[in-house]
Structure 1
Amino acid sequence: MSVSEKNSVVEEDQPDVSVEDRRLLRKVDRRLLPVFTLLYLLSFLDRSNIGNAKLDGMITDLGVAPASYNTALAIYFVGYVIFEIPANRCNPQVWLPSLTLVWGIVSICQGLVKNQAGLFGIRFLLGAAEAGLFPGVIYVFSVYYLRRERSWRVAIFFGGSALAGAFGGIFAYCIGLMNGVGGRSGWQWYVRALMHHLINTTSKRIFILEGILTVAISLIAYFIVPTWSHEAKFLSETEKTRLLDRLRADSDAGTDQAFKWSSVGDAFSDHLVWAYAFLFHGFSFVLYSFSFFLPTIIAGLGFETWQAQLMTVPPNVLASFSIWTTVYFSSRYNARAPFIIGAAIVCIIGYILLITCTRPGLQYFGVLLAAAGVYTGNSLLLSWPGENVSGQAKRAVAVALQISVGDIGAIAGCLIYRPTLSSRLYRTPNLIAIGYLLFAIVMVTYLWVMMSMENRRRDRLLPKDEDETEEERIRLGDRSVRYRYRI
Structure 2
Amino acid sequence: MASLGTTEQPAPASPAYSLDGEKAGASSGAGSDAEDTRTFRQPNGETLTYTAAEERALLRKVDWLLLPILTALYLLSFLDRSNIGNAKVEGIERDIRITNYPLVVTMFFIGYVIFEIPANLVLKVVSARSPAWWLAFLTIAWGAISIAMGFSQNQPQILAIRFLLGMFESGLFPGCVYIFSRWYTRQERVARVSFFFSAAAAAGSLGGILAYAITRMDGIGGQEGWRWLFQLEGALTVVFGVIAIWAIPAWPAYTRGLTEREKSIVFARLSIDSDATEDQKFEWSAVTDALKDVHVWLYAFLFHGAAFSLYTLSIFLPAIIQGLGYRSYQVQLLTIPPYFFAFLCTMACTWASRRVGLRAPFIIGALSLTILGYIVLITSPTVGGKYTAVFLAAAGIYAANALLLAWPSENIMGQTKRAVGLAAMITIGNIGSIIGTNLYRVPLGTIPNHAYRYSQVFTIGWLLFAIGCASTLWVLLSRANRRLDREEAARRESGEADKAGAEAWRLGWRYQC
Q: TM-score by structure 2 length?
A: 0.86
CA distance in 2, matches of 1:182, 1:446: 56
Cα 1:246–1:183, aligned 2, differ >3 Å: closer, same or farther? closer
Is 1:40 the counterpart of 2:66? The answer is: no
Q: Which residue of 2 aligns with 1:19?
A: 53
Name the aligned partner's letter for residue 259 of structure 2: S
Contact 2:86 2:318 in 1 (8 A): yes
Q: Which residue of 2 aligns with 1:423?
A: 449
Query: CA offset at residue 311 of structure 1?
Result: 0.4
Q: Which residue of 2 aligns with 1:69?
A: 101
Q: Which residue of 2 aligns with 1:173?
A: 212
Aligned equivalent of 2:384, options 353, 361, 366: 361
CA distance in 1, matches of 2:76, 2:367: 26
Query: CA offset at residue 112 of structure 1?
Result: 1.4
Q: Which residue of 2 aligns with 1:198?
A: none
Q: Which residue of 1 aligns with 2:249?
A: 226
CA distance in 1, matches of 2:380, 2:259: 59
Aligned equivalent of 2:292, options 222, 246, 269: 269
Query: CA offset at residue 473 of structure 1?
Result: 3.9
Q: TM-score by structure 1 length?
A: 0.90
Deviates more, 1:465-474 or 1:429-438: 465-474
Is 1:260 the counterpart of 2:283? The answer is: yes
Is 1:117 the counterpart of 2:156? The answer is: yes
Name the aligned partner's letter for residue 106 of structure 1: I
In structure 2, the residue corresponding to 1:22 is in which secondary structure?
helix
Name the aligned partner's letter for residue 302 of structure 2: L
Is 1:241 the counterpart of 2:280? The answer is: no
Q: Which residue of 2 aligns with 1:217?
A: 240
Query: What does residue range 99-118 of structure 1 map to in structure 2 within 5 Å?
Result: 99-118=138-157
Query: CA offset at residue 35 of structure 1?
Result: 0.3
Cα 1:182–1:47, aligned 2, differ >3 Å: closer, same or farther? closer
Q: Which residue of 2 aligns with 1:201?
A: none
Query: CA offset at residue 93 of structure 1?
Result: 1.5
Query: CA offset at residue 424 of structure 1?
Result: 3.2
Is 1:81 the counterpart of 2:113? The answer is: yes
Is 1:163 the counterpart of 2:202? The answer is: yes
Aligned equivalent of 1:132, options 147, 171, 179: 171
In structure 1, the residue corresponding to 2:443 is in which secondary structure?
helix
The C-alpha deviation readout for 1:429-449, integer Å capped at 9, x for no partner, is 100100111000000000000
Cα 1:258–1:186, aligned 2, differ >3 Å: closer, same or farther? closer
In structure 1, the residue corresponding to 2:281 is in which secondary structure?
coil
Query: CA offset at residue 24 of structure 1?
Result: 0.2
Q: Which residue of 2 aligns with 1:412?
A: 435
Contact 1:473 1:482 in 2 (8 A): no
Unaligned residue ranges in structure 1 (runs of 5+): 191-205
Deviates more, 1:163-172 or 1:33-42: 163-172
Q: Number of residues paired by the alignment?
A: 460
Query: CA offset at residue 180 of structure 1?
Result: 6.2
In structure 1, the residue corresponding to 2:147 is in which secondary structure?
helix
Query: CA offset at residue 481 of structure 1?
Result: 6.5
Deviates more, 1:460-469 or 1:416-425: 460-469
In structure 2, the residue corresponding to 1:232 is in which secondary structure?
coil
Query: CA offset at residue 329 of structure 1?
Result: 1.0
CA distance in 1, matches of 2:500, 2:139: 39
CA distance in 2, matches of 1:315, 1:418: 23
Query: CA offset at residue 243 of structure 1?
Result: 0.5
Query: CA offset at residue 423 of structure 1?
Result: 3.4
CA distance in 1, matches of 2:198, 2:270: 25
Query: CA offset at residue 179 of structure 1?
Result: 4.7
Q: Which residue of 1 aligns with 2:353?
A: 330
Query: What does residue range 337-486 of structure 1 map to in structure 2 within 5 Å?
Result: 337-421=360-444, 423-466=449-492, 467=496, 473=503, 482-486=508-512
Contact 1:461 1:481 in 2 (8 A): no
Query: CA offset at residue 131 of structure 1?
Result: 0.5
The C-alpha deviation readout for 1:163-197, integer Å capped at 9, x for no partner, is 11111111112234455678764324x2xxxxxxx
CA RMSD in angstroms, aligned pairs only: 2.2
Unaligned residue ranges in structure 2 (runs of 5+): 1-9, 17-24, 26-34, 38-50
Contact 1:252 1:390 in 2 (8 A): yes
CA distance in 1, matches of 2:258, 2:502: 30
Deviates more, 1:351-360 or 1:175-184: 175-184
Cα 1:213–1:462, aligned 2, differ >3 Å: closer, same or farther? same
Q: Which residue of 1 aligns with 2:90?
A: 56
